[in-house]
């Protein structure tokens, strides 16, 4: 079974090493092939030709690093398979830019193989990588691939796939925000939206929870209790700041747990209400 390590920081490098074989006269080097070896533990990952150009993990991370540092992307899944022979990084558009719609249900995914038989792949997929099978599925989904030939690292770093993906998401989000920000929202509409988003009648919810949402609608960051956008901000601010007792709990709730589903539903529900 393939070894799998998720959430590894990938802070290790690989290098090409000379291959040798035993003869009657001792060791003889094999110049037609070289081994790709992890530098941190000397584990051999694959056999390649001398012309094979390595793409280091740091270079792969650099493709998304600027967007991550700006808060536009969040790395949600990264690690390696087969002791490091296959490496993956997956990121989502940050919470404020998660737009309801089919095209943004996917992950921006970066795949690389240190084996000689896998290109660097950059693109979107709905498959979360957790094993060799899902790695293969994601690899098949992605259209942009870079062979490990001379200049591959520069070509990977010059790829606009990630930038275009985020820019399109931001464009869609800007249109969404403008529509919500110009659509009035009454207290009655807020109550109806909350019932649909949280999938239960308001009178069945905790009084303190309803009171908190109402307070955020009127007094949350940047809110004035007037528009559909104020309603959206109230729901997302509750998820990120008040849903759990500690920061890690709130982060998991808002990004991976029930809160993430609620926030996505809020986008869809409020968008529909603003369209009517």
> What per-residue confidence (pLDDT) applies to 227?
95
| The pLDDT of residue 191 is above 50 | yes
Task: Report pLDDT for 8.
Answer: 73
Task: State how far the alpha carbon of 191 is from the alpha carbons of 63, 199, 212, 213, 267, in Å.
Answer: 43, 12, 13, 10, 15
Residues 6+ apart with CB under 8 A from 4: 79, 80, 81, 130, 131
Strand pairing report for 26-38 and 44-48: antiparallel
Q: How far apart are CA 134 and CA 96, in angstroms?
A: 28
DSSP 10-24: ----EEEEEEEEEET
pLDDT tens-digit map of 5-53? 666 789 999 999 999 999 998 888 898 999 999 999 999 999 999 999 9
* pLDDT in the model for residue 170: 81
Which residues are CB-neighbours of 26 under 8 A, at least 6 positions away? none
Place of tokens 């950059």: 122
Average confidence (pLDDT) over 187-199: 95
Question: What are the pLDDT digits (tens) for 205-240?
Answer: 999 999 999 999 999 988 999 999 999 999 989 988
Confidence bin at 81 (pLDDT 50/70/90):
very high
Backbone CA torsion sign across 203, 197, 222, 226 = negative
Which residue has 């080097």 as its token pair? Answer: 29
Q: Give the pLDDT confidence of 122-149 residue by residue, as tens digits.
A: 998 888 898 999 999 999 999 899 999 9
Share above pLDDT 90 across residues of the chain, in percent, rounded to a whole number: 62
The secondary structure of residue 83, as a DSSP letter, is G
DSSP 201-254: -GGGS-HHHHHHHHHHHHHSTT--S-BHHHHHHHHHHHHHHTSSSSHHHHHHHH
Query: What pLDDT does 101 receive?
Result: 46
pLDDT value at residue 1: 43
Q: Mean pLDDT for the chain?
A: 88
Mean pLDDT, residues 91-97:
71
Rounded to an integer, the average pLDDT of 178-207 is 94
Cα–Cα distance between 16 and 30 in angstroms, integer? 13
Q: What's the mean pLDDT in 167-186?
A: 87
The count of other CB atoms within 10 Å of the CB of residue 102 is: 7
Q: How far apart are CA 110 and CA 10, in angstroms?
A: 13
| pLDDT of residue 4 exceeding 70 | no
What residues contact 108, with CB distance under 8 A and at least 6 apart?
A: 64, 73, 90, 91, 92, 93, 122, 123, 124, 161, 162, 165, 166
* CA 15, chain centre distance (Å): 28
Q: Is the pLDDT assigned to residue 173 strictly greater than 80?
A: no
Exposed / middle / buried, residue 90 (Cβ in 10 Å: 0-12, 13-18, 19+): buried
Confidence class for position 100, pLDDT limits 50, 70, 90: very low
Alpha-carbon span 55 to 64, nearest angstrom: 15
């Amino acid at each position: 079974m393939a070894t799998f390590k998720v959430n590894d920081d990938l802070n290790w490098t690989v290098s090409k090493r000379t291959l040798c074989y035993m003869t009657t006269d001792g060791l003889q080097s094999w110049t037609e092939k070289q081994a790709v070896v992890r530098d941190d533990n000397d584990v051999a990952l694959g056999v390649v030709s001398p012309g094979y150009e390595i793409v280091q993990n740091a270079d792969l991370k650099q493709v998304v690093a600027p967007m991550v540092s700006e808060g536009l992307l969040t790395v949600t899944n990264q690690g390696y398979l087969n002791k490091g022979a296959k490496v993956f990084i997956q990121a989502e558009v940050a919470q404020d830019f998660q737009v309801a719609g089919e095209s943004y249900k996917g992950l921006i995914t970066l795949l690389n193989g240190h084996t000689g038989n896998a290109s660097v792949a950059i693109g979107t997929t709905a498959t979360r990588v957790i094993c060799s099978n899902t790695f293969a599925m994601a690899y098949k989904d992605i259209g942009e691939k870079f062979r490990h030939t001379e200049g591959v690292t520069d070509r990977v770093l010059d790829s606009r796939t990630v930038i275009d993906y985020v820019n399109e998401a931001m464009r869609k989000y800007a249109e969404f925000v403008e529509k919500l920000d110009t659509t009035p929202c009454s207290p009655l509409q807020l109550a109806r939206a909350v019932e649909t988003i949280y999938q239960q009648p308001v009178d069945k919810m905790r009084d303190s929870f309803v009171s908190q949402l109402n307070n955020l609608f009127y007094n949350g960051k940047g809110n004035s209790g007037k528009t559909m956008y104020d309603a959206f901000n109230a729901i997302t601010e509750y998820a990120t700041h008040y849903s759990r007792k500690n920061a890690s709990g709130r982060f998991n709730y808002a990004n991976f747990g029930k809160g993430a589903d609620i926030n996505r539903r809020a986008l869809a529900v409020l968008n529909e209400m603003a369209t009517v």
